Structure formats: C-alpha cells, structure tokens
Structure 1
Amino acid sequence: MYHENVTESATTEAIGPAALLPAPGAERHVALDFANSAPTLPGGQSLDLLGTPEAAARWLAERHLAPPEAELREVCAQRLRALRDQIRALIASRIDARPAPAGALRAVNDALTTAPAAELLHWDEARGLHRAPAHPVTQIVDHAMAVLAADAADLLSGPHADRLAACGSAPCTRYLLRTHARRHWCSVRCGDRARAARAYARRTRTEAP
C-alpha cells in the first residue's frame, strides 16, 4: 500500500486530534512517545513529528529535553530519527520474544555514553586553554538522546516490558503499554476501527452464500 508521508507542518486540525494523542504508557516513558513519533494515520498517511529540524526541536522542547529557543540542524534531526528506528527495533524484538538486534543495542548504548559529563578542555589563540561545553546544539542533542536511550533501556529491561504491545488496529504502527491483558489498541479511535473491522468481517461471512 502506498503511504503518503507528511511532516508536522500538516496541522492537527487537518489530521484529526485523536490521531496525535499519546499512546498508553507514553506519559510514563518518554522513549515510548519517541518511538511513536512517526505514526501511520487512519487514512494511510504517515506523520513524522521529527521530520524537519524545526519539528524535532519543537518535539524535544515540549518534553523538556531542549530549551524552547533551540535551533537544530538537519543532521541533528537525522540522528534523532535514526535512534528512533533502533529503539523501535528493540521494542519489536521484545514484543516478539526475538533476540535484540545487535545494531540497535549498539545505537542505544552509544547514545547512553556519548553525552559529555563535564565541560571539556579547549585551546585557541584568543583565550588559550579554557574549558567549554561541546558545540551547544550538539550538546543539546547528545543530552536528549542520552535521556531517551536511558528511558528506553529502563522500559525494555524493567517491570513494564511485559506489557509492551503493538497496536492491533491496522494500519497503525504505534506501540503501547497494555492497561490490562486484552488491550492492544493505542487509542479509542483505533479500538473503534478494529471493532468495526471485526463486525464487518463477521457480517460478510454470515452473508456469504
């Protein structure tokens, strides 16, 4: 099926506000919200909340992972999208009880250890030896990625891991934490759509000659 990609510049009103409500568990684990930041919408469109540097900066700022005035570059947004893909791969492997992909583990561990814990020592002709943080934008992104990776590691190895599930309503691609044993929908909209699809399938079977 062809999926049209749209960025966050498509308005909430045009897409439907229910499509953007956080999935169950995202309020507790920002990494789950991060993994769900490129949802496939009911009409088959895919929305990327990190699709542009401006959108990525806004997403981080809204979750207090970057200052509101932060201006990211495309390379920063690309790094965030790449980490998101690897976290999604780890979540999928955990749900399916498969071995964790080595590349995804490496990406999360790299993000955990990249953010500098202290200002580094530098030298230039004007100031000589001095201590200063890494490039401000790079430092912001490194810190955000470290926080997201740490939360993903906690989610995947902690007590909530067994409650991870993929939304059971196609074409949705979001993950969630089940609130009870049978819940596999990330939103009321997805639940209604799944029930309607089952009812239609039953009706079709009943009416078949």
Structure 2
Amino acid sequence: MRLVIETAPGADVHPGLDLANSVLVAPGGVVTDLLDSPATAATWLTERGLAPADAVLYEICAGRLRALRSALRDLFTAAVRHEPPPAEALSVVNTALTRVPTAAELHWDPARGLHRSVPHPTDQVVDHALGVLAADAADLLTGADAARLAACDSRPCQRFLVRGGRRQWCSVRCGDRARAARAYARRSPERPVDLSPL
C-alpha cells in the first residue's frame, strides 16, 4: 500500500520546500522518510520531474539528497525563527548550486579522438536535481515568499509551509489534530499537580 501525503502549502511550487518536508513525524513519534533508500529517493525525484523514469540511484546519491534536505531544514528553521543560518547548511546548499555542469567536457581517447562527454550519468542526474532543489530553496528564502515561510503549528509535525491567509498548518489533518487538542484542553479541567514526595 502506498502512503498518500497531502502536500504542504507552497510545496507544489517550491520543490526545495517539498524536499525539506520529505521526512514526516506523526503522532506517537512515527517517522516516515520518503528518501530512506536509493529506490525511494529515485521515485521521489522522478515524481517531481527531477530524474528520468529509469533513473537508478545508489546509496551515496540518496545520502547526498538527504544531506541537502537536512541543510534546507536547518536554513528554513533559522529563517522561521529569525536567526542567522548555520554556516554548514549554507555551505551544503552552495555546493549543490555550483556542482551543476553547464556543458559537456572535452576529452581525448585514442579510439574516439576528441569528444565531449558528461560525467557519470547517475552523478549528472543527482547533481542536476540537487542544483534545482538548492536554487529553488535559495529563491524561496530570498524571494517574495520568504516572509510567509512558516513551520506547521501542529505537534509533532515538523513540516514547513508557505503561509497563505491565516492558515497555520501544513495539512487538513494537522489542522484537525490541533483544533481537537485545543477543544480537549478547554473541556478538560486542569488537574492539580501532586508535588508530594514519593
């Protein structure tokens, strides 16, 4: 059975935000990582048009995608809290931005002579995807939507969203959970805390 996840507001136009939200924490601390293996990472990239359907990734590629996700989460968290961004996270994003090849390199081979070729196809796919995701996140953090970037107000959710109007949650499910918790808190009488020694 395939897990169906509602996209957070803004993630449909900001793939960098979608990447940051690719690890989910549900009530009870259940974590779902949409990039937990090379196969799931390849599927995630393919579904977003960032890799061809026949792309095969290796663990090192999936690890690079998860590292970018971690850096983006650090940058988004700092932005939401109005704190300076971590230098290491900036470095990871800048590396992804600068690794995208702009042209095929010129090579010499005695059998083929001078020819142009691209790096290993898998590396090229991953470098391209990382570059697109990093560029989008940089645009989000410095563009018109930067002031609307927010963290979901429903706990334990750890996703980000681009706030539209008064919406405070990344999904209807998180909104329902937060409203139910508030209603329960209003109905439940405050219980005194027993501070007596055991």
TM-score (norm 2): 0.92
Segments of structure 1 that go 5 or more residues without pairing to the other structure are: 1-9
| Residue 66 in structure 1 maps to residue 62 in structure 2 | no
CA deviation vs aligned residue, 1:44-82 (integer Å, no higher than 9, x gap) = 211111111111111111111000000011000000000
Aligned mates of 1:190, 1:161 — CA distance in 2 = 22
Q: CA deviation at 1:107?
A: 0.9
Which residue number corresponds to residue 107 of structure 1?
92
Segments of structure 2 that go 5 or more residues without pairing to the other structure are: 193-198
Which residue number corresponds to residue 14 of structure 2?
29
Aligned mates of 2:143, 2:128 — CA distance in 1 = 22
Which residue, out of 159, 179, 182, partners 2:144? 159
1:129-208 correspondence runs (5 A): 129-180=114-165, 182-205=166-189
4+ long deviations beyond 4 Å: none
Give the length in aligned residue pairs: 193
Aligned residues with identical type, % of pairs: 58
Q: CA deviation at 1:11?
A: 3.2
Aligned mates of 2:113, 2:82 — CA distance in 1 = 54
CA deviation vs aligned residue, 1:146-176 (integer Å, no higher than 9, x gap) = 0000000000000101111111111111000
Aligned mates of 2:150, 2:113 — CA distance in 1 = 54
Three-state SS of the structure 2 residue aligned to 1:159 is coil
Q: Which has the larger radius of gyration?
A: 2
1:107-126 correspondence runs (5 A): 107-126=92-111
Aligned mates of 1:89, 1:191 — CA distance in 2 = 24
Three-state SS of the structure 2 residue aligned to 1:205 is coil
Aligned mates of 2:47, 2:32 — CA distance in 1 = 17
Q: CA deviation at 1:128?
A: 3.7
Aligned mates of 2:191, 2:45 — CA distance in 1 = 51
